[in-house]
Amino acid sequence: MTHMAKTVVIHEHGGPETLTIETRAVDEPGPGEIRIAHRACGLNFIDIYQRSGLYPQRMPAALGMEAAGVVEAVGEGVTHLKPGDRAAYAANPPGAYTEARVMPAAQVCPLPEGISFEEGAAMMLKGMTVEYLFHRTTPLEAGDTVLFHAAAGGVGLIACQWARSEGITLIGTAGSDEKCQLALDHGATHCINYRTEDFVARVRDLTGGKGVVAVMDSVGKDTFDGSLDCLKPLGMLINFGSASGPVPPFNIATLAAKGSLKLTRPTLFTHIADHATCQEMARHLFDKVLSGEVTIRIDQKFALDNIAEAHRALAGRQTTGCTIVTI
């Protein structure tokens, strides 16, 4: 049986005005696939990168990388999910901005009772990103100090709570006093308003001139040089996003001159490509939420029909916490 679903599609790269809503056919799942009816989907900067062409897509392209809903059907070989299961995911290929879809099952995770569909849609990409930042990128332990840019955003507020739960000192940055207070309320030890303070000087002051063991930076171009200057010798800069634009080419010898620094540009999708690893990361995230150590804060909700407005709000730095699109 063929089902029909409203789906957000672009036919060319560009601004929010390129986002159109079409009704598309949704078929039965094939081997290794599921059909899922969404209850909510998440909004992330990667969606903007794909829409704008920073991450080029083949046209026409469906957008959206995370969602939560109910499994309607499973294809041959799918054993970890069954029809009727609550589920959530962050996964390729894009296409989560829709009422329902057929997709690969391997990165779709059973969603525990006690976590709502809206929380599931808001937390998967951001929460598993925090999981790999703290557990799979560079060794971190209780007592370490890290710098986290955009600490009042969706990823940032999860990171603040995650750091507090593991005894890690997190110094955040944000663009207003109100956003700094939000980060502090969620577990940041310190938060720097980068519009009124030099974050490099402030980090050096807070660490007694030593610097931090890691910088977690999703801003990119505007913070890259300063982030390097915040690291202690042998420290690692983890650049996991480009909200201000891509980092320009630079001389790799700079890393040696500044203290044998390390630099990495990871993505969540490398980490979750393996089914077992993906499910393990999701369970770790779910445990944090179910224990109360991490609360998923949803500050903005948009209807699917208002997806362009949602993109404008996120790109304009008008959001805090997580943003979801309701179905």
The burial class, CB within 10 Å (0-12 / 13-18 / 19+), for 279 is: middle
125-138 pLDDT tens trace: 999 999 999 999 99
**CA pair distance 40, 268, nearest whole angstrom:** 21
Task: For residue 171, report the phi and psi dihedrals to the nearest 5 degrees.
Answer: -100, 120
The domain 138-265: what is its CATH number? 3.40.50.720
Domain map (residue ranges) of the chain: 3-126+269-326, 138-265
2-38: pLDDT as tens digits: 789 999 999 999 999 999 999 999 999 999 999 999 9
How are beta strands 145-148 and 169-174 bridged, if at all? Answer: parallel
Average pLDDT for 276-281: 98
From residue 286, alpha-carbon distances to 12, 183, 205, 279, 280 in Å are 37, 21, 36, 10, 10
Element (H, E) at 49: helix 45-52
CA distance 42 to 119: 9
Determine contact, residues 196/180, Cβ cutoff 8 Å.
no
What pTM value is reported for the model?
0.92
* Topology, domain 3-126+269-326: Quinone Oxidoreductase; Chain A, domain 1 (3.90.180)
Give the pLDDT confidence of 115-162 residue by residue, as tens digits.
999 999 999 999 999 999 999 999 999 999 999 999 998 899 999 999
